[in-house]
Amino acid sequence: MCPNDSKWDSSISSYSYICRHRMKKRKVRVLLATSGSPSKESIKRGMQMELKNLKLYLENRCIIEENERLRKRALILDQENKALLSQLKKKSSLLIDNI
């Protein structure tokens, strides 16, 4: 399930639960470039950036997983295509020989 799917739950926690076994645990540290103690606004912006970063990371993981799935499917279809082409060549050579 990816963020663009109709079943996508906007809740990050439910998606991360689903993909937990595929994801590496990451710790994101927000660096605030302020002098003295950080303001509530800068902490909020940092948390928003962290959340956006996590969403992008999850979306990237989905894209990578989909790409791997499609690559495997393409390999299977290529093998099927080669097998069918081989059968067609055998049958056509038999027909030509019988003529």
Could you tell me which of 19, 89, 92, 79 has the C-alpha nearest to residue 54?
19
pLDDT in tens, 11-54: 444 444 445 444 444 444 445 444 567 889 999 999 999 999 99
Residues 15, 24: Cα–Cα separation, whole Å: 14
Q: Provide the whole-model pTM.
A: 0.54
- Quick count: other Cβ atoms within 10 Å of Cβ 38? 15
pLDDT in tens, 52-89: 999 999 999 999 999 999 999 999 999 999 999 999 99
